[in-house]
Amino acid sequence: MSRIRPTWPDLPAPVRDVVVARLGGPVTAWASHDGGFSPGWALTLETAAGRAFVKVASTDHADAARFHRAEAVRSAALPAGVPAPAFRWAEEIADPGETEPSWVVIASDAVDGRALRSEPWDLDDLDRLQRLARRIAEHEVPAGGAFPDAADHLWPEAGLLADERPAALAAYDPWLAAHLDRLAELAAPDRQREALTGSRLVHNDLRADNALVVRSADGGEEAVAVDWPHAQRGPAFVDQTATLPVVAATGGPSPEEVLARTPLPAGTDPEAVTVWVAVLTAYFVRSSLLEAPPGIPHLRAFQRIQAEACIPWLRSRLG
Residue 182: per-residue pLDDT = 97
CB burial of residue 265 (10 Å; 0-12, 13-18, 19+): middle
CA distance 304 to 317: 20
Of all residues in the chain, what percent carry a pLDDT higher than 70?
98
Q: Bigger pLDDT: 198 or 293? A: 198
Residues 5 and 34: beta-carbon distance below 8 Å: yes
- pLDDT band, residue 2 (cuts 50/70/90): low
Measured distance between the N- and C-terminal CA atoms of the chain, rounded to whole angstroms: 33
Please state, rounded to an integer, the average pLDDT across all residues of the chain. Answer: 95
pLDDT for residue 256: 96
Query: What is residue 106's predicted lDDT score, i.e. its pLDDT?
Result: 98
Segment 158-191, tens digit of pLDDT? 999 999 999 999 999 999 999 999 999 999 999 9
Q: Give the chain as a 3 state SS string.
A: CCCCCCCHHHCCHHHHHHHHHHHCCCCCEEEECCCCCCCCEEEEEEECCEEEEEEEEECCCHHHHHHHHHHHHHHHCCCCCCCCCCEEEEEEECCCCCCCCCEEEEEEECCCCEECCECCECHHHHHHHHHHHHHHHCCECCCCCCCCEHHHCCCCHHHHHHHHCCHHHHHCCHHHHHCHHHHHHHCCHHHHHHHCCCCEEECCCCCHHHEEEEECCCCCEEEEECCCCCCEEECCCHHHHHCHHHHHHCCCCCHHHHHHHCCCCCCCCHHHHHHHHHHHHHHHHHHHCCCCCCCCCCHHHHHHHHHHHHHHHHHHHHC
Q: What is the pLDDT of residue 39?
A: 79
Q: Residue 87 phi/psi, 5° resolution?
A: -70, 145
pLDDT at 264: 97
What integer pLDDT is reported at residue 278 of this predicted model?
Answer: 98
The model's confidence at residue 1, banded by pLDDT at 50, 70 and 90, is very low
How distant, in Å, are the alpha carbons of 96, 157, 174, 248, 284 from that of 162?
50, 9, 14, 26, 14
- Where are the CATH 3.90.1200 domain residues in the chain? 114-318
Query: What pLDDT sits at residue 160?
Result: 98
Report the pLDDT averaged over residues 281-309: 93
pLDDT at 31 over 80: yes
Q: What is the tens place of the pLDDT at every residue in 193-208?
A: 999 999 999 999 999 9
Which fold does the domain 114-318 belong to in CATH? Aminoglycoside 3'-phosphotransferase; Chain: A, domain 2 (3.90.1200)
CATH number for region 8-109: 3.30.200.20
pLDDT mean over 278-289: 98
pLDDT at 138 over 50: yes
Q: What is the pLDDT of residues 40-91, one digit of tens each?
A: 999 999 999 999 999 999 999 999 999 999 999 999 999 999 999 999 999 9
Confidence of residue 217 (pLDDT cuts 50, 70, 90): confident
Task: Provide the pLDDT for residue 9.
Answer: 96
- CATH 3.30.200.20 positions along the chain are 8-109
Beta strand pairing call for 232-234 and 200-202 = antiparallel
